[in-house]
Structure formats: structure tokens, C-alpha cells
Structure 1
Amino acid sequence: MGVKITGVGSYIPQHVEKNESFMENTFLNTDGSKINYSTDVIIDKFKAITGIAERRYAKTHQTASDLGFLAAEKAIEDAGIDPETLDYIIVAHNFGDVRSDSVQSDILPSLASRIKHSLGIKNPSCVGYDILFGCPGWVEGVIQANAYIKSGIAKRCLVIGAETLSRVVDKYDRDSMIYSDGAGATIIEGTAEEGGILTHKTATFAADEAYYLFSGKSYAEPENDTRYIKMHGRKIYNFALTNVPLAMKECVDESGVSIDRIKKIFIHQANEKMDEAIVARFYKLYDKPMPDHIMPMSISKLGNSSVATIPTLYDLYLQGEIQQDNLNPGDVIIFASVGAGMNINAMVYKY
């Protein structure tokens, strides 16, 4: 028996926020002092490092669970299933539902329960729960669904990654330009066919790395207790370059698949330069150059929507909106992510 992704859907908000819209922002250092560069230079440097030219923000009346619901509807339709037959709804996020006029997180009830309600599912045996796992949350949700199905506990799961990070950023922090909103959803099912999820690897590094991503005060208003998403970017970069390629290699080696058979790598859209360096270092572990067009990217137009980046990227790729080549049955791909915790995971998948 194989465990496969049988339906994919995403919701990409329509509102486009270009880099130019940040020209009026005043960006500060961590101590509250003004950065000694003009805003246009800061934005140009930001674009050169991250690759981000624009990002998407949700409409003011929408929350993360709304985006997750819209993505879930598309995944259910794509799979051609009755939602009443779902055994689990697993929703990955980091901040719950945050209204456009607030930075307060709302996770009561869980986003999974909210999305189940919006889908109109009445079956009480369809269990919904949330996971907080940083940016790798969607991949981890798929790994959990795989375990449920292989153990016989479930036959069919809905795994969603949804986030509205634009609601939890400090406008005085230049890193605020990284974050965006979106949602991706997938149906995971057990099938009689071989393939699907071959191997996976997950790790949490928390001895020294736990607070590389954290909630912190505004650089402009340290006396205010309101918290925003903050990060130690250089530490994350170095951590990711060391640990993500190793997790990917461990998965590939365990799968028994030759590195030359990898068709695509769908990696968390965190930072264009960092993602390229991760994949290049992964191939270096095999003494091979990084192949051309191995890594579809969406970050230049969609920014970093955390748990939503991989499922939305995968959906856009399958729709032909990212690259023009196609996946064929039997092709092998890798999903990989890194994020708060610090958590990393990877999964080798046979299409």
C-alpha cells in the first residue's frame, strides 16, 4: 500500500503588496536606532538577498482559517471525494486567526474545528486538530497523516497550511517585508498503488537554537508589550545550510532512490539565496552539481507564507504556473522545510 497526495488546492490572496509600498517605512535596528541607509537602498538589498519583489496579503475580513477553508474546498474537489469520508483534518499554522485590526492570536476553537465547520462536515469521527511546528508544519502534518494511514487508524486525511503573517509583523523591522499570507491544502490517502511517501525525516534542535525565531517587542516601542514575529536571520541561515541538506540526504539514502532520479525539490520558500544554498549543498554531499531547474520557486511573487509556502508552491507547479515541465508517474520529488523551534523535516515522494 502507498500513501499518496490525491488532491491539492491553494488560496493565493489577490492583494499584491510590492516592495515599493514600503518606501515610506522607517526601518530601525534592534536597539531602536535608525538604520544608516536610505529606505530605497534597504529595499534593494532586501530584494537581492531574499528574491522577494512582492507578496500577497489577505483581505481585511479574512483570517487564516478562512484561507484554509478556501484551499481545502479546492483540494477536496481536486481529489473528487466526499468530505464526510475524511478521518482527520490537520491544520498547521503559527499564529491562529488574527484579525486585520489586531495582533492577538485566536485559536479557540482550533482552526481545524473552524474549517471543519465551514466545510459543513457533520461526521464526528472526522477529527480536527492544529499543529504548531513552525514553517515545516504542513510537511509534518503530512508525515502524521502518513502514520495514521499506515497504522490503519485512518484512510483519508486533509492536511492544511494556513497563515496571515502580515498581521503579526513590526513595521519598523525590515524583516517585515519577508512575510505574507496564503493557504495550501492536500488530501492524503492510502492507495493500492505503490509509491507516494517513501521516507521522511524530522528533527527539533532546541539546545541553542530554540529562540532563533521568537515573539518580540517593536523596535520603535520597547515599552509596549505587544509582540511581533522576530528572528536572528544569520543564525537561521547558518543552521539551515548545515542541517536541512543532511535531513534531505538521509531521506534519499533511506529510500534507496538514486540522487540522479530526483526530478524536483519543493523547499520552504524562506529566502531565495538560502534555498539555493541549501539545495546546492545537498548535491555537494553527493559530489554533484546542483541541476538546472531542480527547484521551483514562488517567493519572488508570493513572499514567505510559512506553512503555506510548500503546498501552494506544489499546487501552482502542478497547474503549470511555476515551470513548464510536468511530473510524470514514477518521478521522485523531495519536500523539505526549516523553521521555528528550530524544526526541520524532509520527505521523499514518488509521484
Structure 2
Amino acid sequence: MNSTFYTDAGDLIDKPNDEVIKKFVDITEIEERRYIDEDKMNSDLGYEAAKEAIYDAGIEQEEIDYIIYASNFGEVSKNGMPNFMPNMAARVKHKLGIKNRKCITYDMIFGCPGWVEGVILADDLLKLGKAKTILVIGGETLSRVTDPYDRNKLIFADGAGAVVLQRTEEDNIGIIATNTVCDNAEELNYLECSKTLNPSADDQDKLYIRMHGRKIYEYALKNVPAAVKETMDEAGITDEDIDKILMHQANAKMDHAMVSRLFKLFGKSEYDEAVSPMTIQKFGNSSVATIPTMYDLIAKGEMKGHAFKKGGYIVMGSVGAGMNINCIVYKTPS
């Protein structure tokens, strides 16, 4: 199916689709992406991910004290209308059939770093003794909020991932350090919602996700590596200790550049790219779902050439709308 694309200024891009797509793949490396079935919703994806996380953790779901659901647009209908009432976490609790009235449901609206921020919040709640078991979900259906006339629609995809966190008395495992940075001044609208790029389209009131790619790229390269290194410094580790770096899968060119710049902060001009796996080529940018999806694939041995070491350090970093940045250093059990 051929598409018609327009520039940010509303001018028709008079180039064949093949040429537009080839340039897009060269920059982003995205060759495939996943879209939700028409009869499914975001909470359906989150429910499936939650079920699998609960099963993998070997817990009873009634033990869950909090459900935190990260998304940007909530339960998006087929016409692209975001819906947060009831909230996403409550919808998943309902679908799971959890009866525990003390299981509290929160939504985390924090841009693409939302799932990581949900994990950071869960870690704080666990360490403060406010909970013993927390389910954190990241799910998004970006295919329903992308402008059909915007080339950047090819970046975005749908997906969900989930994790169960529990309090432990063991020392020096789990989340060792976290870091969050919010730059909400001139950076506020680097990612925003705005009308279609096609000035002749019928519905000029409908809003779509809009990305100012160059500004985001420059911001990310300047700020993300420094924030990640700051988190690693707090954890007392260096580049030599890293087992894997799981970066939010936003754009392959940007991710490669951020990881490269991180290693330069440690005085290294080169690094083994196996330390920083990527899924964007196959799954696209599913926002809050990219990191938990990648973690799950590696943990289950379903990502060829990648596995987590026992007692190894996993660094997770993300950047997105706001602009917001966050990072986690996680140590796996020995």
C-alpha cells in the first residue's frame, strides 16, 4: 500500500515510497514493526504481559500490593481517542480478576521512560516498606496515534512488557542505583501532539504524535550518556562491569551514538556492540514497552547471541517526551 507523506511545513513529499522508506531504514534500521489487532486494546496487551510476568515470578496474584501501568495515551480507541478512565492499571487488575482491595492501581504517564520510572517508583515503595510485591507494566498502541501523512509514523509500533518486583533482605542485588532528570523548559515540546501534516485532510482537529527528531537527537546525545554515567558512578561501577546496556529503542542511529558517547566518558573510543543489544530493527519503537520486551527476550534465551550473566550488572536507560531521562543499574542474583 502506497502512502502520501508531507513535510513539517505541510508540503507534499514528491518522492516514491521506496525511496522514502530506504532512507528511513538507513537512518533508523527499522525494517519491521508490530501493530495491534483491530479488536484488541492497550490493556489487552498489558494483561497478557502481566499474566506472563506473574507466572514467571511464581507468585499468587492476590499478593500484589501495587500495579503500575506506564503508557502515554492509555486505552486508545480505533478513532485515536486516548482514554484514561478507568486508569490502565485498574483495567488490568480487573482483567486479571484480582480481588484484593488493597492492591493499589497507578498509571505512570512519563513519556517513553515511563516503564523505567515505574520500576524506580516500585523500588522506592519496596525499600520504604510500603509494599512487598509490585507489578510494573509498560504498554502502548502508537499505531493508533500516528499521522498517516507523517514519515515518522514508520518509527512507531505497539507492544507491552511487564515485570514483578519483590522486596528482598539480600544485600547487593536488585536495583543498586537510579537516576531521573526532567528538562521541561524549551525541551517540553520536542515530542508533542499536533494536527495532521496534510493541510487538505478532512479531520484537522484530530491530534497525532509529533516528533522533532533533530532536537531530540541533539538533546539525547548531550544528556543521556552523562545521566547514565552519573547513575553508574553512584552504583560504584565502570564500563568494565557492565554486562548489558538496555537502552530504550527509539532510533538505532541515536542509540548507537548514545552508547558510544557513554563509553567515551570512560575514555574508550570503541566498545563491543554485543553489550548493547537492539530490537528496534524487528519491533520498532513501542515506547514504554521497548526495554521490558528486550529484557524478557534475553532472560528467556530468545534473543540470539545474548544472555544475562549471573551476578552481572544491567544498565537500563531511557529518554522521551517531557523531555525526561532515567536510568537504573540492576545487579542480577549470583
* TM-score (normalised: structure 2): 0.96
Amino acid at match of 2:54: I
Give, in whole Å, the separation in 2 of the partners of 1:328 and 1:245: 23
Among all aligned residue pairs of Structure 1 and Structure 2, give the percentage whose two residues are the same amino acid: 51
Letter in 2 for 1:37: K
SS at 2:99's partner residue?
coil
After superposition, where does 1:147-296 map in structure 2 within 5 Å? Answer: 147-194=124-171, 195-221=173-199, 224-288=204-268, 289-296=270-277
Paired residue for 1:40, among 12, 18, 22?
A: 18
Displacement of 1:324 in angstroms is 2.5
Write the distance in 1 (CA, Å) between the matches of 2:188 and 2:8. Answer: 19
Moved more, 255-264 or 63-72: 255-264
Counterpart in the other structure of 1:130: 107
Unaligned 5+ segments in structure 1 are: 1-20
**Which of 106, 117, 138 matches 2:94?**
117
Q: Given the alignment of the two structures, is residue 140 of structure 1 paired with residue 121 of structure 2, yes or no?
A: no
Question: 1:292-311, aligned counterparts within 5 Å?
Answer: 292-311=273-292
Distance apart, 1:323 and its partner CA: 3.2
| Whole-angstrom distance in 1 between the partners of 2:294 and 2:308 | 14
Q: Which residue of 2 aligns with 1:104?
A: 81
Per the alignment, in what secondary structure is the counterpart of residue 54 of structure 1?
coil
Secondary structure of 2:225 counterpart = helix
Aligned to 1:63: 41
Confirm or deny: 8 A CA contact 1:60 1:99 kept in the other structure: no
SS in 1 for 2:327: strand
Write out per-residue CA displacement over residues 210-269 of structure 1, whole angstroms, 9 at most, x where no aligned residue: 000000100114771100000100000000001110111001111112320101000000
Separation in 2 of the partners of 1:325 and 1:94? 29
The separation in 2 between residues aligned to 1:165 and 1:107, in whole angstroms, is 15
- Hey, what's the Cα distance between the residues in 2 that align with 1:114 and 1:173? 31
- Measured in 2, the distance between the counterparts of 1:327 and 1:219 equals 43
Q: Does 1:339 align with 2:320?
A: yes
Query: What SS is found at the alignment partner of 1:134?
Result: coil
Q: What one-letter code is carried by the residue in structure 1 that aligns with 2:115?
A: W
Q: Structure 2 CA distance, aligned partners of 1:31 and 1:46?
A: 19
In the TM superposition, what whole-angstrom CA distance separates every residue of 1:157-198 from its partner, at most 9, and x where no partner exists? 000000000000101000001110000000011112231100
Q: Residue 59 of structure 2 aligns with which residue?
A: 81
Any stretches of 5+ residues in structure 2 without a counterpart? Answer: none
Q: Distance in 2 between matches of 1:164 and 1:121?
A: 24
- Counterparts of 1:315 and 1:226 in 2: how far apart (Å)? 35
Q: Which runs of 4+ in 1 moved over 6 A?
A: none
Q: Structure 1, residues 129-182: CA drift from partner, whole Å, max 9, x if none?
A: 101000000000000000000000011100000000000010100000111000
Q: CA deviation at 1:36?
A: 4.1
- State whether residues 61 and 99 of structure 1, in contact with CA within 8 Å, keep that contact through their aligned partners in structure 2: no
In terms of fraction of residues, the more strand-rich structure is 1
TM-score (norm 1): 0.92
1:116 aligned partner, one-letter code: K
In the aligned structure 2, how far is the partner of 1:325 from the partner of 1:139? 21
Counterpart-to-counterpart distance in 1, 2:232 and 2:28: 27
User: Is the Cα–Cα contact under 8 Å of residues 277 and 306 in structure 2 kept in the other structure?
Assistant: no
3-state DSSP of counterpart to 2:274: coil
Q: Quick one: which of 306, 313, 318 aligns to 2:294? A: 313
Matched-pair contact (CA < 8 Å) for 2:247–2:291: yes
Q: Give deviations 1:303-337, integer Å, cap 9, x for gaps.
A: 00000010001101112222324212210010000
Post-superposition Cα deviations, 1:51-98, rounded to whole Å, max 9, x if no partner, equal: 100100111111111100000000000000001001100000000111
Equivalent pair of 2:243/2:309 in contact (CA under 8 Å): no
- Distance between the aligned counterparts of 1:290 and 1:142, measured in 2? 28
